[in-house]
Amino acid sequence: MCGIVGYIGAEDAKEVLLRGLEKLEYRGYDSAGIALVNNEGVHVFKEKGRIAALRDVVDSSVSGTVGIGHTRWATHGPPSRLNAHPHQSETARFTLVHNGVIENYEQLNREYLADMTMKSDTDTEIIVQLIDRFVSEGSEVEAAITKTLSLLKGSYATAIIDKQDPDTVYVGKNKSPLLIGVGEEANVIASDAMAMLQVTNQFLEIMDEELVIVTRDNVTIKTLEGKVISRKPYTAELDSSDIEKGTYPHFMLKEIDEQPFVIRNIIQKYQNEDGSVRLEDNIRTAVTSSDRIYIIAAGTSYHAGLVGKQLIERLTKCPVEVHIASEFLYNMPVLSENPLFIFISQSGETADLRGVLVEVKKLGYQSLTVTNVPGSTLSREADFTLHTYAGPEIAVASTKAYTAQMAVLTLLAVDTAKAKGIELDFDPLQELGIVATVMETLCDQKERFEQIASEFLSETRNCFFIGRATDYFVCLEGSLKLKEISYIQAEGFAGGELKHGTIALIEEGTPVIALATQEHVNLSIRGNVKEVAARGAAPCIISMKGMEEDDDSFVIPTVHKLLTPLASVIPLQLIAYYAALHRGCDVDKPRNLAKSVTVE
């Protein structure tokens, strides 16, 4: 979701900014733009659509050693060249890019700029116009920016250029992520370190309600009250090969294939020398001393949370509730006396989760973030963090981050059980090792999943996924994967629930993908398959070795019964991938979606 880059250095900023924006493409966007500063002034180029379209409108003869760039994911006003950033103020003195949502922009407009007609439909424009207005009324630039930022309600990450002082970029942040990169002869600005690894791997975090003044050779961080803050940069532990596709046609396929490695990496990171699970003592204490766990997550991470609940409850007997982040505060349950909140988030930036975390902190409860990005907002703001070590996930559709989340939740459950003196009848790390091997076997059989996708999904307009017990949770994830990248209307159902209404949608040939990996519900899910087949559905059964029947479309090698979701999701990810591919969809960048959902 929206990305910002900025550069102030010795080189021509144009290519650095465009390459940086390309690295942010994975976040999802529908228009893009850059502003370049040189002796002749500020030159703005913007276009609806992809960065490739922006490249076509950028005048190659214009260069400048200072610039800002933006990918926009429309919230206020449709995707268009007009609404794309950068936006310029009435006098064209100030140029700005912004991520986030300004909730009080209409009120600010009425209060301060009633005499002005906004040029765009965006909430963003108010920021740049207010700065210009305050400067026109006599304020110094820094004071005008600080005043403007203090008036904003909502979320923002913003970079501002003043035409009259082209050697400075002003940066502000509240709730939306933004980093400053500190280079040799250049300093940079980026929503994500990946975008500016081309310049530096040294980054400075910016906290909420700080103003940063960036020049070629200096970075000054101040609070909005003017207090100067000293902060050391950290090294971004990213390898640029992690963010390249290599020989793969799509990041999604690469990331699906990386899952066995990710699981082995997690085992290694969380293993003691004696082969037992190693978690930090303070995390163990937080979990064992809580009387109920509340998992808060969204989308795919919510699906991982559903599986995590089963694992934690079965292994530790501690009750767990799983809640959709965007609903939690509106449908808040009665909380237990000593709850622990676990936030599961690949990006660590999801605004819906952050809203809950802020409330949880106000109430004084402990919080743990399970994330793939340890320096992220949710990680910084929670009491504890568990890293999922999946490596950067670029494809919008989450795959390896999901299985990594389930693996880490397994280890959390195992460690808690041990701390509570509960004996387990299996070796969890060995069983996860078997999962990694099975994942490899599944990834080696791509042709079969491509065939299944062709047979069942090349023409259809909808598709159902059914499963019982934990298989149901994997069906929710399988259907989300399919719908988000192939645009087939796909829904996951508990096998027994379909007949309570939704079975009315089954027509001749409607694909129904059924998971049968759970011994105790094998007969009942097969009964549900018969019910839909009798009404014309085309069933595709994916079962587990030991439970298979002759007509099953695919049989997954056996893994431990508590860990089946880590294996059974792989066929569903690959089927979704090939369905999208065959239907000509943009697999890595599906329409309307953003990787990092930083607005509520």
Residue type, 138: G
- Residue pair 351/598 in contact by the 8 Å Cβ criterion: yes
In what side-by-side order are the strands of the sheet with 538-544? 489-494, 462-467, 511-516, 538-544, 554-556
Q: How far is the CB of 22 from ligand F6R (least distance, A)?
A: 20
Q: Which residue has the tokens 């009250």?
A: 225
Report the C-alpha gap between 198 and 205 in whole angstroms: 18
CB-wise, 64 or 305, nearer to ligand F6R?
305
CB-wise, 26 or 45, nearer to ligand F6R?
26
Report the C-alpha gap between 421 and 435 in whole angstroms: 26
DSSP 529: H
3-class DSSP assignment, residue 346: coil
Chain CA centroid to CA 587, Å: 16
Cβ-closest position to ligand F6R: 299
Q: How far is the CB of 477 from ligand F6R (least distance, A)?
A: 8
Taking each helix axis as running N to C, give the angle between helix 125-136 and helix 105-112, from 0 to 180 degrees, rounded to the nearest 10: 30
Residues with Cβ within 8 Å of 247's Cβ and at least 6 positions away in sequence, in order, are none
As a whole number of Å, the CA-based R_g of the chain is 25
Q: How far is the CB of 350 from ligand F6R (least distance, A)?
A: 3
Phi, psi for 129 (deg, rounded to 5): -70, -35
DSSP 86: P
Residue 368: which of 291, 279, 309, 295 has the closest Cα? Answer: 295
Q: How far is the CB of 344 from ligand F6R (least distance, A)?
A: 7
Report the C-alpha gap between 140 and 148 in whole angstroms: 12
DSSP secondary structure, 347-361, as one string: SS--HHHHHHHHHHH
Q: Which residues pair with 182 in a beta bridge?
A: 187
CB-wise, 94 or 402, nearer to ligand F6R?
402
Q: How far is the CB of 572 from ligand F6R (least distance, A)?
A: 12
Helix (H) or strand (E) holding 204: strand 202-205
Q: Which residues pair with 384 in a beta bridge?
A: 368
CB-wise, 170 or 449, nearer to ligand F6R?
449
Spell out a b/e string for 396-421, using b for 16 or more CB atoms within 10 Å of the CB, else e. Answer: bbbbbbbbbbbbbbbbbbbbbbbbee
Report the C-alpha gap between 151 and 145 in whole angstroms: 10
72 token code pair: 């926009």
| Residues at the interface with ligand F6R (CB under 6 A) | 298-301, 345-347, 350, 353, 397-398, 480, 484, 597
CB-wise, 385 or 398, nearer to ligand F6R?
398
- Residue pair 121/70 in contact by the 8 Å Cβ criterion: no
CB-wise, 300 or 517, nearer to ligand F6R?
300
- Residue pair 201/236 in contact by the 8 Å Cβ criterion: yes
Q: How far is the CB of 418 from ligand F6R (least distance, A)?
A: 28
Q: How far is the CB of 506 from ligand F6R (least distance, A)?
A: 26
Q: How far is the CB of 562 from ligand F6R (least distance, A)?
A: 22
Catalytic site includes residue 2: yes
Helix (H) or strand (E) holding 131: helix 125-136
Q: How far is the CB of 592 from ligand F6R (least distance, A)?
A: 12
CB-wise, 48 or 400, nearer to ligand F6R?
400
CB-wise, 345 or 510, nearer to ligand F6R?
345
Catalytic site includes residue 595: yes
DSSP secondary structure, 359-417, as one string: HHHHHT-EEEEEES-TTSHHHHHSSEEEE-------SSS-SHHHHHHHHHHHHHHHHHH
Report the C-alpha gap between 87 and 130 in whole angstroms: 12
- Cis omega (within 30 of 0) for bond into 86: yes
Q: How far is the CB of 537 from ligand F6R (least distance, A)?
A: 26
Chain CA centroid to CA 1, Å: 9
483 token code pair: 């719908």
CB-wise, 265 or 398, nearer to ligand F6R?
398
- Residue pair 118/89 in contact by the 8 Å Cβ criterion: no
CB-wise, 42 or 353, nearer to ligand F6R?
353
Beta strand 3-8 with 187-190 is antiparallel
The catalytic position among 14, 173, 483, 595 is 595
CB-wise, 18 or 306, nearer to ligand F6R?
306
Q: How far is the CB of 27 from ligand F6R (least distance, A)?
A: 10
Residues known to be catalytic: 2, 595
